[in-house]
Structure 1
Amino acid sequence: MSRRGNCWDNAVQERFFRNIKLEYFDDLIFMNCQAVEVAVGRYIRYYNYSRINSAIGYMTPLQKRRELLKIG
């Protein structure tokens, strides 16, 4: 943890949760907790493998990771 009051501590998590709420959960209604778990898993797979991100050069997070690790 960084020092108290550092506003960047949770920036990545806050951005992800904002995206999942606005892009995916906005129009969904869930019957139980298991349905929420399945929906979150689907969104994470979509976010990592399909959704392009302008901040990382219009690549998916997986493509960017492979580029950084030089995996091909």
Structure 2
Amino acid sequence: GPGLLIHSDQGAQFTSREWAAFLREHNLEHSMSRRGNCHDNAVAESFFQLLKREKVRRRKYRTREEARRDVFEYIELFYNPKRKHTNNGMLSPVDFEERQLKLEKAGV
């Protein structure tokens, strides 16, 4: 089956034959936003902007594994359990989800 999912807008570089060939060659699956709908990608764009700004900006990784580990640790040890979000009432994603589950169990 397909490997990693690559999501993009419908820019010319992402609709070219060369891009499609690259994706096939590397066993990647392509997903695209709807034409003219920038909101399809808003959550992902916001997350990656934070990842770049808070973690990987100006870093030079010696290996792909070092980069993978650094991004994994950012997501699993900081972003999800600790990073507070204004849209979640200043709760981390983990705390917000736990609160929602408690409310659902209580029938609220």
* TM-score, length basis structure 1: 0.86
User: For residues 5-58 of structure 1, what are the alpha-carbon distances to aligned partners after superposition, in whole Å with 9 as ceiling and x for unaligned?
Assistant: 111111111111000001111242200110110011011011000111122111
Aligned-partner Cα distance in 2 for 1:3–1:40: 28
Q: How many residues align?
A: 71
Alpha-carbon offset, residue 3 of structure 1: 4.3
Task: Measure the CA separation in 2 of the matches of 1:20 and 1:12.
Answer: 12
Amino acid paired to 2:99:
E
Match of 1:28 in 2: 59
**Unmatched runs of 5 consecutive residues or more in structure 2:** 1-31
Q: Distance in 2 between matches of 1:7 and 1:30?
A: 31
What does 1:52-67 align with in structure 2 at a 5 Å threshold? 52-67=84-99
**Which blocks of at least 5 consecutive residues in structure 1 are unaligned?**
none
**Cα root mean square deviation, aligned:** 1.8
Identity across aligned pairs (percent)? 37
Alignment partner for residue 8 of structure 1, among 39, 52, 57? 39
Q: Distance in 1 between matches of 2:81 and 2:97?
A: 11
Q: Which amino acid aligns with 1:30?
A: Y
- For the residue of structure 1 that corresponds to 2:38, the secondary structure is coil
* Partner in structure 1 of residue 18 of structure 2: none
Change (3 A) 1:33 1:3: closer
